[in-house]
Amino acid sequence: MSTGYTSARINSRYPTRTFVSLTGPAGNIGDALIRRGTLDLALGTSDAFVAYAGDAPDVWLRQLRVPTGTRVLRSKRSVPKWLWLIATAPSRPVLVFEAGEVPLDRGNVLRELVFLAETLIVRLKRGVVVRPPRGIRAPTSPAAWLHARAAGMSQIALWRDEASAAIVGGGRVVPDIGFAAGVREGQAWDQRGELVVSLRGTRPHPNDTWLQAVRATAATEGLRIRTVVQVREDEERARELAAALGGEFEPWGDRDPLEQEALLRERYDGARLVISDRMHVLVLAALSGAVPVELVPHPTRKITEAFATTGLHGITLDASTSDADGMQQFLQTQRGRQAEVRERMRDADRRLTEVEAEVRATIAAARA
C-alpha cells in the first residue's frame, strides 16, 4: 500500500537544479497536503533544490517538511531572483509547478506570462517541466490561452477533472494529488461511532431543515456528531454547528499544524460519514475509509468533478432542492458505500504512484 510519493534519487552526470513552487496559506491543511505532495514528487531529482514559498511563514515550511539545505525564496520581490536562477541554472533543470487550483481570471494575465516564460526557459535548457494534477477556476482570455500554451510545452501536464482539461484543449486527467496522502485502514466499520462535520465559515449557516436531517441521521445510525476544523477560518462555524447539532466541537486552537493534521486523520479513521464542502476534508476522510458527503445549498462542481476522476460518483446533494426527509434518505444511502469508497481510494493511490514513476522516468531520460 502506497503512503504517498517517494523521493528516490535521480542520478545525473551533470550538475542539476530543481525548482518547485510551494505557496499557500499556513492555516489550510488541505493546501499543505497538496503542496507536500508536490514537494515529495520533486525531492531527490537534483543536486540543488530551490523552492518559492511566496509570503508563507516558517511554520508552513515545517508543515510541508521542506528539507534542510533547500534554498527558499519568499515574497513577490524574490520573483526576479527566481527567474534569474532558472535562467542561469545548469542544463537540464527541473521545474515543478504546485498542484491545486489555478485561477485564470483577468487579474492573472501577468502571472501566466511569467509562468510561460519559466516554461520556455526550462525547455530551451533541455530540462523537464512538470505540472501536477490541477484544476482551472474562472478561465478568461488571454490568461487561459497563455496557460494552455505553457501546459502544451510541458512534458507532463495533468488535470484533476475533465472540465479543466477541456479548457486547455484536452490532456490527461488523473486524481488530485491529495489522494496520494496514503490510504489508511482506520477503525473497523462496526466500531466507527461518529458523524463528522466540517463546513466553510464563509458560506451562510445551514438552515433548520439541514440541521434536522443531520441530527436525525446521527440518531438513526447511533452516531455521535463531532465538528472539526481543517481550515482555521472555519473554526467559529464549527463551534456554531456543534451547538446547533448537539455535537462535540473540537477546536484547532494553539495546536501545531502537523499535530492538527494527525488528529484530524484519527477523527476520520473513526467516522462513518464526513459531511463537508471542503474538498480536501472529504479527500482525507475517504482515504481513512469514511464515506465522504457534500451536502450544502448550491454546491459548486469542484468536489463532484474531482471525485468523479477517482470513479466515485453521486456524493453531492444540493440541500436547496431537498427537504429534511430527502436529505436524511440521501445520507443513509451514502453510508452503505464504504466498500466502494475503499476500492476507489486504492485505485487512485495506484494511479498516482504510476504518475510518480512516469515523472521520474521522464527526468532520468532527459539527463541520460
Whole-angstrom distance, CA of residue 189 vs CA of residue 338: 8
Both 39 and 119 in one domain: the answer is: yes
pLDDT tens per residue, range 94-145: 999 999 999 999 999 999 999 999 999 999 999 999 999 999 999 999 999 9
Cell numbers linked to 264: 484530524
pLDDT tens per residue, range 213-251: 999 999 999 999 999 999 999 999 999 999 999 999 999
pLDDT tens per residue, range 300-349: 999 999 999 999 999 999 999 999 999 999 999 999 999 999 999 999 99
Domain assignment of residue 271, given as a range: 189-346
Residue 12 lies in a domain: no
Element spanning 158, H or E: strand 156-159
Both 238 and 162 in one domain: the answer is: no
Element spanning 364, H or E: helix 338-366
Domain count, the chain: 2
| Length of the chain in terms of residues written | 368
Q: What is the CATH number of the domain that holds 160?
A: 3.40.50
Confidence category of residue 15, pLDDT binned at 50, 70, 90:
confident
The pTM for the full model equals 0.95
- Dihedral angle sign, alpha carbons of residues 205, 207, 212, 217: negative
Q: What is the DSSP string of 60-118?
A: HHHHHTPPTT-EEEESGGGHHHHHHHHHTSPSS-EEEPPPEEEE-SGGGHHHHHHHHHH
Find where cell 508563507 sits.
56
Element spanning 159, H or E: strand 156-159
Residue 5 lies in a domain: no
Cell numbers linked to 39: 514537494
Both 145 and 173 in one domain: the answer is: yes
What are the respective helix, strand and coil percentages of the chain, to the nearest 5?
50, 20, 35
Both 36 and 121 in one domain: the answer is: yes
Cell numbers linked to 150: 505553457
